[in-house]
A and B are shown apart, each in its own frame.
Chain A
Amino acid sequence: MFRALANSTTPVGGACRLLFVQVRNTTAAAAAKTNAPDTKKPDMVHLKRESKPRTKTVQIYRWNPEEPDKKPYLQDYNIDLNDCGPMVLDALIKIKNEMDPSLAFRRSCREGICGSCSMNIDGRNTLACICKIDESSKPLKVYPLPHMYVVKDLVPDFTNFYMQYKTIEPYLKRKTEINIGDKQFFQSVEDRKKLDGMYECILCACCSTSCPSYWWNADKYLGPAVLMQAYKWIVDSRDEYTKERLEQFRDTFSLYRCHTIMNCTKACPKGLNPAKAIGELKALLANVATSPSKNSATVGPDYK
C-alpha cells in the first residue's frame, strides 16, 4: 500500500510528479505493481513532436502595483498552439506556468459560469475560458476590463461594481406576514418564465464595462448588470417591494444615463439582454408598461 503523497513545497509539473511516484514505487518495494516507465505519452506530445510549431504572439497588459511609477506596458509572449488548449484562459495558464509566473489574472471554473476571468480580448469583453484563441497570425491582445482601476496586470478592482449591486438589495423582500417554514412561495410557470434571461447573470461585469455611459459616470450610473438584476427582482412575482424598487431609479443618474448604446447585449458572454431589461425598466417607470403581476397565491392577505 502506498502512503499518501506529502505536499511538495516546490512546484512540480505533471511529468515530474509521475516520476516521483515511480521512484517511491521502487523504494517501497511493493510486489503487485510493475516498475515499467510509462510509455504511453499523451496525444498532445505526439502532436507537438510531429508537426511544426504554430506560434501565436500573445500581448498582455502588465502593471505591477509594487512598481507604481512604472507605466503599464504590453508584454509579448510566444506560445505554441499545438501545445496549448483552445481557449484564451488555457494560453494564460500556460504562460503563467511555463514562462512568467508573475502574470496575475482571476480564474476559477474554466467553463464560463463563475465570471472570474472576464477581460478584454482583442477589443471585446468576454470570459477568457470560453473565448477561442484566434488562429490567425496577428497577435492576441489581452487587456483588463476597460475603465476599471487595476489591482495588478489583468485583475480589475470590482469594489464599486459590488457596492452598486448591493444598493439594489438583490434578495426577496416581502411585506406579508408569514410563518417561516409554513409554506413555499408558489410561483406559476408563466411567472417563472419571466425570470429567464436574467437569473443566469454571473456578474462578470463584461456588459457594464463595455458601456461608455458607465465609463464616464461609473460613480453614479448603476450599469447594465446591476440594472438587469434590479429588473429581475421587480418582475419576480414573489417579491412585494416593487414600488420601492422602482422609486430608486427616479433620479438623473441611476438609470437614465443609459442611451441605448447596446454594447451591453453585444458583450454579454452568456447571451443575455441587459438592454432589453433596462428598456422595460424605463417603460415601467414612465407608466407605459403594465406593472408586473404578482402571484395572488403568494402575495396579499390571502396567503395562509
Chain B
Amino acid sequence: MIPTTTGTHIQPVYLPHPQQPSIGLSGLSRTDHWKIERVIIVAMLAIIPGSFVFDSILMNYFLAASLAIHAHWGMDTVLIDYCPRKALRLANAIRYLLTVLSFLGLCYLNCNHMALTKALKALWSIIY
C-alpha cells in the first residue's frame, strides 16, 4: 500500500524498502546485527575489567577484538545518522580501513611488544 497525498507543498515519495538486506551485513538482517551489537556491549562489561584482573593472552586478544568491533559498528551507526548520503560510501570505506588498521595495530602490540593490558598499565604509570 503506497500512501499518497494531495494539497500540500510537500509530496513525500514512499519507497518500499527492499526485502533483502544489504551485502554489508552478510546476509544477517538488521535485527540480528543489532542483537549481536548488544551482546558485544554486555560482553565488554565483563572483558574490560576482566582483562585487567585475569591478565592472559586470550583475554588481551578478546579485549583488542571487542574494542575494534565495537568501535567499528558504533561508527557505522554514527555515519548512518549524520553523514550525508552522498559521502556515505567513502566514509564507510575509511571506517573499514581504520578498523582493520587499528585491530592489526593492537594485535601487533600484543604479539611483538607487550600485552595490551600491560601497555595500558604502563601508560597509566607514566601519567602518574
Contacts and interface: CB of A to CB of B under 8 A. Distances in A.
A294 B29 CA distance: 26
Among B3, B38, B77, residue most surrounded by chain A Cβ atoms (within 10 Å): B3
Given A149-B9, A250-B29, A252-B80, A163 B3 contact: yes
Given A163-B3, A256-B34, A157 B82 contact: no
Contacts of B8: 157, 159
Given A167-B14, A257-B81, A159 B5 contact: yes
Nearest to A282: B34
A169 interface: yes
Contacts, number: 54
Contacts of A252: 30, 80
A159 B12 contact: yes
B35 to A, nearest CB: 5
Interface string A268-298: 0000000000000010011010000000000
Interface string B82-96: 100000000000000
A138 B7 CA distance: 40
A162 interface: yes
Contacts of B126: none
B12 A219 contact: yes
13 contacts: A157-B10, A159-B8, A159-B10, A159-B12, A163-B3, A166-B3, A167-B3, A213-B81, A219-B12, A256-B34, A257-B80, A257-B81, A288-B35
Contact of A217 (B5, B17, B35, B81): B81
Contact of B30 (A151, A157, A256): A256
Contacts of B38: 286
A233 B103 CA distance: 45
A302 interface: no
Nearest to B77: A259
Interface residues of A, number: 26
A282 to B, nearest CB: 7
Among A159, A217, A257, residue most surrounded by chain B Cβ atoms (within 10 Å): A159
Contacts of B31: 250, 285-286
Among B5, B30, B31, B38, residue most surrounded by chain A Cβ atoms (within 10 Å): B31
B10 A160 contact: yes
Nearest to B16: A167
A162 B77 CA distance: 26
A160 B10 CA distance: 8
B10 A169 contact: no
A251 interface: yes
Interface in A178-233: 213, 216-217, 219
Interface in B56-106: 77, 80-82
B23 interface: no
A167 B81 CA distance: 22
B117 to A, nearest CB: 30
Nearest to A246: B31
Interface in B28-50: 29-31, 34-35, 38
A250 B81 CA distance: 17
B29 A216 contact: no
Contacts of A159: 5, 8-12
